[in-house]
Amino acid sequence: MLTVGYIGLGLMGKSMARNILKAGFPLIVHNRSRQAVDELVSEGATAAYSPREVAEKVDVVFTNLPDSPDVLKVALGVDGIIEGAHRGLIFVDNSTIKPDAARQISRQLEEVGVQCLDAPVSGGDIGARNGTLTIMVGGSKEALEKVMPVFQAVGKTITHIGESGAGQVAKGANQIMVAAQMVAMGELLIFAQKCGTDPRKVVEAIRAGAAQCWTLDVKPPRLFEGNRNPGFKARMQSKDLGIVMDTARTYGIPLPGTAIASQLFQAMVDSGLGELDNSSVISIIEMLAGEELKI
C-alpha cells in the first residue's frame, strides 16, 4: 500500500485527498491554512508542516495549487519537495499550470531520482467530491502504472496523453472548450429571454439535439435558481485561459474565440465577480445586454 502525501487542500484538493483517505491509503497532508488540515486529520490523515516533510515520509506526493509559481515554489523552493526527495518518490501535480513549468519541474526532480507526472483534472467540485474526475496525465507510463490505484480513488477517466507537459496541454485544450461553452450558454440564455421566449424551455429543447453538452446538462438549473456559487471559480477559469493564451503565443497559434472568452472572464475578475462559478460569465452578458436572467 502506497503512502500518499497531498499538498493543497482547496476546493478541489480537499475532496480529492478525502477520497484517497477513504480508499484506505495512509495519507499525510499539508496546506498553507490549517483548517483543512485539521479537518482531514480528524478523519484519519496525518499532518505535516512543510512540503519537504511530506516528501520525506511518502511514496507519492500530490500537489493541487493555484498557479505555476505556487507549484514551482512548493516543488523546487526552500523546504520544498526537492529537499525531501528520495529515490523512488513519485511527484504528481493536479494543478493547472504552464506546460513549460511542468517540464522544468520534471527535469529538476528527475535529477534527484523523482519520477514526475503532470496530471491536471476536470470535473469541478462535484467530480472531486464524487471521485469521478477526468485526469489527463503527462509523464512516464511506468510512474502512472505505480500510482494508478490512487488515481482510481479520485477519477473515473484516466488518460495517458504523452511525455512531461502533455497533461497540461490537454488541460489547456479542455479549458478552451469549457470557456466556449460557458460563454455560449450565457449568450443563448439571455438571447432567448430578451427575445421573449422562456429560456428554460429553450434549454429543454436544445439539450435533446446537437447542442447537448455537460454544460447545458448541469449549469442552467443552478442559474435558474439564482445559484452562482462556485463549482469552479471564474478567477481560476481566467487564470487557466491566461495560460492557454500565453502558450499559444509561444507556439504562434491563433485562438480568436478563446481570446474573446479570456477577455470576458477577465472582465468578471475586474468586476469583483471572480469568486463566483465560471458559469457566472453570464453576468457580463447581462451587463452588456441590459437584461438579467429571471429566476
Residue 273's φ and ψ, nearest 5 degrees, are -110, 15
Structural domain spans, the chain: 4-162, 170-289
- Architecture, CATH, for domain 4-162: 3-Layer(aba) Sandwich (3.40)
Residue type, 263: Q
Q: At which residue does the C-alpha cell 504523452 appear?
A: 162
From 171, 219, 233, 239, the catalytic residue: 171
Fold match flag (4-162 vs 170-289):
no
Q: Does the domain spanning 170-289 belong to CATH 1.10.1040.10?
A: yes
Q: How far is CA 8 from CA 47, 99, 182, 183, in A?
A: 12, 19, 26, 29
Q: At which residue does the C-alpha cell 486529520 appear?
A: 41
Number of other CB atoms surrounding residue 8 within 10 Å: 26
Whole-angstrom distance, CA of residue 25 vs CA of residue 39: 17
Looking at residue 153, what is its pLDDT? 98
Rounded average pLDDT over 39-46: 98
The pLDDT-based confidence of 23 (bands split at 50, 70, 90) is very high
- The pTM of this model reads 0.94
Angle at 194 between CA 193 and CA 198, to 5 degrees: 20
Residue pair 261/241 in contact (Cβ under 8 Å)? The answer is: yes
Rounded average pLDDT over 83-111: 97
Tens of pLDDT, residue by residue over 165-185, are: 999 999 999 999 999 999 999
Residue 138's φ and ψ, nearest 5 degrees, are -115, 145
Helix, strand, coil distribution of the chain in percent, nearest 5: 55, 15, 30
Looking at residue 163, what is its pLDDT? 97
Percent of the chain with pLDDT over 70: 100
Asked about 171 being catalytic, the answer comes back as yes
